[in-house]
Amino acid sequence: MTKEAKIALYTKMARIRHFEQRCIRIYQQGKIGGFLHLYVGQEAVAAGTISLLGKNDHLITGYRDHGHGLMVGMGMNECMAELTGKVTGCSQGKGGSMHYFAPDKNYWGGHGIVGGQAPLGTGLAYAVKYQGLKGSCLTFMGDGAVNQGAVHEAYNLASLWDLPVIFVVENNGYSMGTSQERSTAHPGCLAKRAEGYNMAWDVINGHDVYEVRAKTALALKRAHEESKPTVLEIFTYRYFGHSMADPDKTYRDKEEIKTYRDKKDPVLLFEQELLREKVLTPELSQTINDAAMAEADKAAIFADESPDPTLADITKHIYWEEDNRGPKTTSRGTIIFE
């Protein structure tokens, strides 16, 4: 990686961190409804993997989707406005926190049902292969998703049909408020389940963005050159509850969180590494973090000042054919009912 690329990567991680921390304040002000699943602590996973993607590489994830969105280049404004349900949001206030999308940047969401995106990601990889392109689909999920049937069906199809999909299990240790030991048979290694499907797998230290990049690059090579799938299990940790609705008091102790924050924080560790490498200076780091904070502040104001969708907007974007009625559409009749 060039010096510039390293600084850019650190900048992106810092932006995710500050965006998420700004979200907490807005949530506490009561401006974000529904669920808010924060990515704080997991930044190196999205940053390390997504920073490797090329023009025919796609990605899709579950509901903890803000970090991935910012990594592909979504703006903080559209992301923040989506959280507050504004028409200027990336999904025009129709998706919310769990449903970010940027298909123009190969980002296919943002999916609310645990594991439900695994077959979709496999299908995106199928489409890439069908079209004869050298690409892939990074299909992210949490450790809780590995017990969903849809994930296993996707594993089987991906391997059976040699699809260029990389299943990335972001293992933060807890499926909602249930620890891995209490939810998963053979909890030591979730990636190893790939063996049952004759798939390659690897485990990665998700606190080290260099390691994430190095091992993901091997999986991407396998996808691009052999059209074969991989399961990557990336060990990581989230500092906040499953969502902001989770008081986080029953299933882990504060000491555990503190240990991760103090000793394994991926943003801090990367900053220290770049200082050691003399890529960063303390001043430059301060500038980067100040800019990210200011950007998040501006996004909060943008979200505040943006208008809501209208009553008429409720019934838009349900059907392509309804939004584009004309001589060429194949539908007639009543499709949206009173």
Partner 1 sequence: MAVISYREALRAAMRDELNRDKNVVIMGEEVAQFNGAYKVTEGLLKEFGPKRIVDTPISEAGFIGLGIGASMLGIRPVMELMFWSFSYVAFDQIVNNAGNIRYMSGGLINCPIVIRGPANGGTNVGATHSHTPEAILASHPGIKVVCPATPYDAKGLLKAAIRDNDPVYVMENTILYNDKGEVPDEDYIVPIGVADVKRVGTDLTIVAHGRAVITSLKAAEILEKDHGVSVEVVDLRSIRPLDEETILKSVRKTHRALLVEENKPFCGVDAQVAYLIQSKAFDELDAPVHRVSSIDAPQIYCKRMEDLQMPSVERVVAEALKVLA
Contact residues: partner 1, CB under 8 A = 58, 60, 89-95, 99, 101-104, 108-113, 116-128, 130-131, 137, 149-150, 153-154, 156-157, 160, 316-321, 323-324, 330-337
Record the tokens describing residue 67, joined without a space: 């970090």
Separation of CA 122 from chain center = 16
Give the nearer residue to partner 1 in terms of CB position, either 112 or 206.
Answer: 112
Contact 58, 136 (CB under 8 A): yes
Give the nearer residue to partner 1 in terms of CB position, either 49 or 122.
Answer: 122
Contact 21, 295 (CB under 8 A): no
Give the nearer residue to partner 1 in terms of CB position, either 21 or 148.
Answer: 148
Record the tokens describing residue 168, joined without a space: 């990335």
CB of 122 to partner 1, least distance (A): 5
Give the nearer residue to partner 1 in terms of CB position, either 61 or 236.
Answer: 61
Q: Which amino acid is at 310?
A: T
How far from 173 is each of 176, 282, 290, CA to CA, in Å?
9, 33, 31
Query: Strands 174-175 and 178-179, how do they pair?
Result: antiparallel
Q: Which residue, 99, 94, 107, is CA-closest to 49?
A: 107
CB of 163 to partner 1, least distance (A): 9
CB of 21 to partner 1, least distance (A): 26
CB of 119 to partner 1, least distance (A): 2
Report the half-sphere exposure of 112 (CA within 13 A, side-chain side).
8
CB of 314 to partner 1, least distance (A): 10
Give the nearer residue to partner 1 in terms of CB position, either 23 or 150.
Answer: 150
